[in-house]
Amino acid sequence: MDKINDNTQDIKDMVREKYASIAKGDKEVNMASCCGATTPSQEVYNIMSEEYKMEGYQEDADLGLGCGLPTQYAMIKEGDTVVDLGSGAGNDCFIARHEVGVSGKVIGIDFTPEMIALARHNAIKSGYNNVEFRQGDIEDMPVLDDSVDVVVSNCVLNLLPHKDRIFKEIFRALKPSGHFSISDIVLVGSLPEALTSAAEMYAGCVSGAIQKDDYMSLISAAGFEEVTIQKEKAIVIPDDILSNYLDDQGLRDFKNGDTGIFSITVFGRKPGSKDSMIDVMTTAQVCTPGGGCC
């Protein structure tokens, strides 16, 4: 089994390589494994992802890599600008596009070239002209300050080491009073070392997850208000996957222990008022040197 290197760039390179392979893979294999990265289970078909029943859904763009339905809870309105972090083949972007309508815009960001190419192909195939896919690192988002109404993401932040930086980036990109809805994997309790050190389990959205309380604290520390868990469900990793990493005793200890793996969909809002921002901008335009108001 490949081991995780503690170097941040090595982790990103490993995830990028895994997801480049996943982009060419089969949805059923992805859904029967942990985010498409581990050996598929023969016991459970759908480990993390949920069934989409939303307008805009594209089966070809659904790779079975999500762990929630953030677009369902994101309160997207017509005319909004929406950013999807880790957009994959584009499915959540296409659902968001249905919500924003022709007057809105959706931007998908992913750091895997193969995923970007696949998403762009799906957008062109459907004739969408208000969905854009940008290759980039979500720890340094290629998005302007205060330019986004809603941010969504589906089982991606757990893959990157600097989650605090990502929430700060989301805060920077959102307009005043803008908000996010993010589905992700979190932990309660500690995973066995054999799982935390396995590269497949990291890319499989498990060992890169952090404690639930720490995750929520990072959101508040970034400056967000109204931080709320919109949905939570337990994730059960099947025995036939765990047995690739744990011996019989380790498997029993893990199953009888108090460690929990959960998918949460969490909401947060950036403070401020769009109206007050407009007032400030208007005043700044009027009160220029020689403008007569000062």
User: Class for domain 8-271, per CATH?
Assistant: alpha beta
| pLDDT number for residue 199 | 86
Are the beta carbons of 151 and 209 closer than 8 angstroms?
Answer: no
Question: Which tens digits make up the pLDDT trace of 176-218?
Answer: 999 999 999 999 999 999 998 888 888 888 989 999 999 999 9
Question: Which tens digits make up the pLDDT trace of 58-67?
Answer: 999 998 899 9
**What residue ranges do the domains of the chain occupy?**
8-271
Cβ neighbours around 128 below 10 Å, total = 16
The structure tokens listed for 82 are 């929406």
| pLDDT number for residue 39 | 84
Residues of the chain with pLDDT under 70: 1-2, 4-6, 274-294
Could you tell me which residues come within 8 angstroms of residue 81 by beta carbon, excluding any fewer than 6 positions away?
100, 104, 105, 106, 107, 147, 148, 149, 150
Give me the residues paired with residue 106 across strands.
82, 131
| pLDDT number for residue 48 | 86
Q: Would you give the distance in Å from CA 287 to the centre of its chain?
A: 42
| pLDDT number for residue 37 | 84
Residues in the chain: 294
| pLDDT number for residue 274 | 53
Q: Is 160 exposed, middle or buried (0-12, 13-18, 19+ CB in 10 A)?
A: buried
Are the beta carbons of 268 and 224 closer than 8 angstroms?
Answer: yes
How far apart are the two ends of the chain, measured CA to CA in Å?
A: 69
pTM of the model: 0.89
| pLDDT number for residue 253 | 93
| pLDDT number for residue 6 | 66
